[in-house]
């Protein structure tokens, strides 16, 4: 009630803008114009200059071939469903395993020291190995021990390789989240008589996980891309499907199609992660 007249004076822009608002509006218009101008200049340069390059026609025929694109895109989209499926069953497993490993690394009881050591060793090893190497070793190696079908499926062991590697990264991220929770929160919980486990579960973890949500989100975007590595041990997902088309038609356009499909998923996801991060920064101020 009392601040109504105030709001009318300062907040209502439809009335005469304040000097400051007018200044800021001018400034904004100017920077928008500069941004638009330079964008147009760059786009023009690319559109006009690149086709002038002597090899452009050949590049266009072999990378941006409309016919090949139209012929292969539906098949690529179909193959991408396998990527999505692999992602969908790996992601929850990664979240759970990553959390468990992070918790292993945080145990304080001396009796549980081996667990702590296991956690450290685990993250060191799996963060230190290229994903593709783990996929080969686990995906071909374990079934090579003579497991019967269907237990030797590359889907199982390839997914496990992804889960093992990504859980190590997620564990590190969660651990950094746990470390970021101030000791005073644990003190406050302990002073109320909460057990270590309850303190972790109700006080530390919820905050830690929320703090690292953007970082984890980025990991899961990376996972969506790395799913394609499973193709090396057999599954015909989008990357492999594109490779087959490429080989049949001696044309790289299918790879461009696959790239577009990946971007259609990863760009919005990346934007969303950035938005989360931004929101979180603002909250913490």
Q: Is 242 helix (H, G, I), strand (E, B) or coil?
A: helix
Least distance CB 45 / other proteins (angstroms): 22
Among 154, 177, 214, 254, binds other proteins (CB under 8 A): 154
Among 152, 176, 270, 280, binds other proteins (CB under 8 A): 152
DSSP string across 134-202? HHHIIIIIHHHTTPPTTTT-HHHHHHHHHHHHHHHHHHHHHHHHHHHS-HHHHHHHHHTT--HHHIIII
- CB of 73 or CB of 169, closer to other proteins: 73
Q: Is 280 in the site for other proteins (CB under 8 A)?
A: no
Site string for other proteins, 53-82 (x = CB under 8 A): --x--xx-xxx-------------------
The full length of the chain comes to: 285
Whole-number Å distance between alpha carbons of 40 and 18? 33
Among 96, 248, 260, 267, binds other proteins (CB under 8 A): 248
Whole-number Å distance between alpha carbons of 50 and 44? 10
Whole-number Å distance between alpha carbons of 187 and 222? 36
- If you compute the radius of gyration of the chain from its CA atoms, what whole number of angstroms results? 26
Q: Is 127 helix (H, G, I), strand (E, B) or coil?
A: helix
- Fill in the DSSP letter of residue 45: H
Among 4, 52, 250, 282, binds other proteins (CB under 8 A): 250
Query: Of the ranges 9-17, 120-128, 229-237, 272-280, which one interacts with other proteins (CB under 8 A)?
Result: 229-237
Which of 127, 159, 130 lies closest to 227, judged by CA?
Answer: 159
Size of the site for other proteins (CB under 8 A): 51
Site string for other proteins, 174-213 (x = CB under 8 A): ----------xx-xxxxxxxxx--x---xx--xx--x---
- CB of 129 or CB of 181, closer to other proteins: 181
The footprint of other proteins (CB under 8 A) covers 55, 58-59, 61-63, 140-141, 143-144, 146-149, 152-154, 184-185, 187-195, 198, 202-203, 206-207, 210, 231-236, 240, 243-244, 246-252, 283
């Amino acid at each position: 009630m009392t601040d109504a007249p105030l709001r009318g004076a300062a907040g209502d822009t439809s009335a005469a803008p304040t000097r400051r608002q007018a200044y800021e509006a001018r400034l904004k218009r100017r920077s928008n114009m500069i941004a638009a101008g330079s964008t147009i200049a760059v786009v023009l340069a690319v559109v006009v200059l690149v086709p002038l390059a002597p090899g452009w026609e050949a590049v266009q025929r072999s990378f941006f071939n409309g016919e090949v694109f139209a012929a292969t895109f539906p098949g690529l989209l179909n193959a991408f469903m396998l990527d999505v499926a692999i992602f969908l069953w790996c992601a929850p497993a990664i979240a759970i395993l990553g959390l468990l490993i992070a918790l292993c690394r945080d145990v304080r009881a001396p009796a549980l020291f081996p667990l702590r050591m296991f956690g450290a060793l685990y993250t060191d090893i799996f963060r230190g190995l290229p994903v593709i190497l783990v996929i080969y070793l686990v995906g071909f190696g374990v079934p090579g021990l003579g497991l019967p079908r269907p237990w030797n499926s590359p889907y199982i062991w390839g997914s496990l390789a992804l889960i093992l590697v990504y859980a190590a990264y997620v564990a590190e991220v969660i651990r950094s989240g746990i470390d970021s929770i101030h000791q005073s929160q644990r003190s406050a919980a302990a002073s109320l008589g909460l057990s270590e486990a309850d303190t972790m579960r109700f006080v530390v973890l919820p905050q830690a996980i929320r703090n690292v949500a953007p970082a984890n989100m980025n990991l899961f975007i990376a996972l969506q891309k790395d799913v394609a590595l499973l193709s090396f041990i057999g599954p015909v997902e989008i990357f492999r499907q594109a490779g087959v088309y490429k080989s049949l038609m001696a044309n790289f356009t299918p790879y461009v199609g696959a790239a577009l499909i990946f971007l259609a998923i990863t760009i919005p996801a990346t934007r969303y992660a950035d938005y989360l991060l931004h929101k979180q920064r603002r909250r913490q101020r």
